[in-house]
């Protein structure tokens, strides 16, 4: 996504660690400003272009920059901020691409108990590992085309289905794998929190106050 006439300029991603001057820690206000500016530029560039290749590269941002670089930029921002919401969307996509079989199993277990959330998430039928990877890409693509609030709501619904599925799978592990069941229960609860954050971010975007 190099600078070319008629194409949006690629945002200059600089991890906070690269902002150190003579061993001094970066100013927290500066770190926050960089996080919010890069998030705004990224979303603006994706929504301004009509080039599908540009949007595809934005979706694959983590593949190009690495999750740790994106984490340095956005992971510490408030959950209900634009960089915080983007961090959650990219992390969600990264997870389903790294473990599509596990993600699909969680989703399959959850969608039977969460019809409404399943419908909002918009998963394909029949459903499997390849479909869940495609869904992760499709949700993130909605950030750059269509209604960003809808993309956030779909991600929230996806997290709810996964959370419910993971909780049910944890119940199945009771008495067989207690540590695994406890870990699954904790992550199921965390996913519900992520869903709530994404839903709130969608509401803020609609009122023009997600920044």
Domain region containing 109: 16-206
Determine, yes or no, domain membership for 20: yes
* Element housing 96 (H / E): helix 82-98
Determine, yes or no, domain membership for 134: yes
Q: What are the tokens at 57?
A: 């590269």
Determine, yes or no, domain membership for 26: yes
Q: What is the DSSP string of 135-163?
A: HHHHHHHHHHSS-HHHHHHHHHHHHHHHH
Determine, yes or no, domain membership for 11: no
Tally of structural domains, the chain: 1
Determine, yes or no, domain membership for 78: yes
Per-residue pLDDT of 105-139, as tens digits, reads 999 999 989 999 999 999 887 789 999 999 999 99
Determine, yes or no, domain membership for 2: no
In 3D space, the residue among 130, 7, 144 whose CA is nearest the CA of residue 86 turns out to be 144
The pLDDT-based confidence of 205 (bands split at 50, 70, 90) is: very high
In 3D space, the residue among 145, 163, 149, 138 whose CA is nearest the CA of residue 209 turns out to be 149
144 near 47, Cβ under 8 Å?
Answer: yes
Task: Kindly report the pTM of this predicted structure.
Answer: 0.84
Q: What are the tokens at 47?
A: 């929504």
Return the exposure string of 119-153: e unless at least 16 CB atoms fall within 10 Å of the residue's CB, then b: ebbebeeeeebebbbebbebbbbbbbeeebbbbbb
In 3D space, the residue among 66, 10, 63, 8 whose CA is nearest the CA of residue 38 turns out to be 10
Determine, yes or no, domain membership for 148: yes
Determine, yes or no, domain membership for 188: yes
Per-residue pLDDT of 131-190, as tens digits, reads 999 999 999 999 999 899 999 999 999 999 999 999 987 777 666 777 877 888 899 999
């Amino acid at each position: 996504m190099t600078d070319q006439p008629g194409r949006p300029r690629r945002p200059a991603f600089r991890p906070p660690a690269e902002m150190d001057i003579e061993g001094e820690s970066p100013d927290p206000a500066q770190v926050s400003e960089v996080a919010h500016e890069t998030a705004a530029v990224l979303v603006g560039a994706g929504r301004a272009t009509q080039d599908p290749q540009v949007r595809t590269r934005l979706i694959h941002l983590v593949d190009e920059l690495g999750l740790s670089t994106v984490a340095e930029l956005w992971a510490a921002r408030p959950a209900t901020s634009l960089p915080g919401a983007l961090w959650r969307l990219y992390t969600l996509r990264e997870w389903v691409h790294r473990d599509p079989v596990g993600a699909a199993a969680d989703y399959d277990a959850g969608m039977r108990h969460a019809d409404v959330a399943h419908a909002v998430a918009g998963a394909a039928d029949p459903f499997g590992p390849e479909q869940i990877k495609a869904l992760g890409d499709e949700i993130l693509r909605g950030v750059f085309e269509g209604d960003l609030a809808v993309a956030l709501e779909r991600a929230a619904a996806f997290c709810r289905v996964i959370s419910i599925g993971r909780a049910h799978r944890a119940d199945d592990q009771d008495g067989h794998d207690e540590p695994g069941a406890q870990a699954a229960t904790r992550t199921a609860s965390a996913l519900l929190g992520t869903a709530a954050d994404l839903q709130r971010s969608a509401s803020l975007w609609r009122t023009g106050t997600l920044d």
